[in-house]
Structure 1
């Protein structure tokens, strides 16, 4: 376990779902004292919010849960992310397609990222994609999905080390 396992969460604008997942996963990583071996980031497929902090609804929810989002700023996914991250976790099917298109266009040497949908980590949910609270306003439901999925992903990562 000499190199870090790097996780990238991806949504459309990188202000609601993916930064929430980044903050929650970082929180779990810190709780388990694994920050030296797991690195977490997030990105968006669109460029509208580059440099902006998470959406007010995401910030309010994270504040209420006492989960830090300090220093988080929106960025857009790049072709090199497929090389830099072992896990690229997309919040919905369109993000998955957009990420695959970026990676296919980049044709990055040494690509090793495993691109998956976030909901593949959540058992028995009534949805197949993480709803975008930018449109639904339901940040709490998104948090519940993200909490469960991040816990599962962390367990999956730890089991790979054995």
Structure 2
């Protein structure tokens, strides 16, 4: 099974949105049970809380379930548990690499989400917790998740 972890700061806006959208795309493609997805935050402020109300409202609008998604913090063991660790911004990537230590040095499994979005205008997915622009984040997340799924299917045709 291929495992993906999306990471943002508090695990209530961007990474749970990506988890829910990616899970939805897996279901639409009949790939559930072959690819697993989770999300986590680098901070501990919102542990065990559901996604932010703005994320929930947006996902509801698109008919995407966020059932069972609760905030958690990145753990050292996540490095060994996940095949892809996708960070929503540069600060998250830096913090994740600090958590994983030397094991993450040069590791291609840890990368920024915006690496999946061609023609990007920024290296970082903006944080709607501060900007309030959940629609902009959704557009980036939907495209990036679609591209991540294509990347996984190309890199692991035998496993996916």
Same fold by TM-score, threshold 0.5 exceeded? Answer: yes
1:151 and 2:146 are equivalent in the alignment: yes
Q: Render the CA deviation track for 1:36-68: whole Å, top value 9, x for unaligned.
A: 110000000000000000000000000000000
Deviation larger for 123-132 or 15-24: 123-132
Q: Where do 1:1-162 residues align within 5 Å?
A: 4-104=1-101, 114-162=109-157
8 A Cα contact 1:118 1:149, kept in partner: yes
Give 1:128 deviation, angstroms: 1.5
Q: TM-score, normalised by structure 1?
A: 0.92
Q: Render the CA deviation track for 1:71-121: whole Å, top value 9, x for unaligned.
A: 11000000100000000000000000000000007x59xxx8700000000
SS of the residue 2:54 aligns to: helix
Structure 1 residue runs of 4 or more that deviate by more than 6 Å after TM superposition: none
8 A Cα contact 1:88 1:113, kept in partner: no
Q: TM-score, normalised by structure 2?
A: 0.94
**In structure 1, how many angstroms separate the alpha carbons of the residues matched to 2:108 and 2:30?**
24
**In structure 2, how many angstroms separate the alpha carbons of the residues matched to 1:113 and 1:73?**
27
Give 1:160 deviation, angstroms: 1.5
Give 1:161 deviation, angstroms: 2.4
> Aligned-residue CA RMSD in angstroms?
1.4
Gaps (5+ residues) in structure 2?
Answer: none
**In structure 1, how many angstroms separate the alpha carbons of the residues matched to 2:120 and 2:61?**
24
**In structure 2, how many angstroms separate the alpha carbons of the residues matched to 1:122 and 1:27?**
19
Q: How many residues align?
A: 155
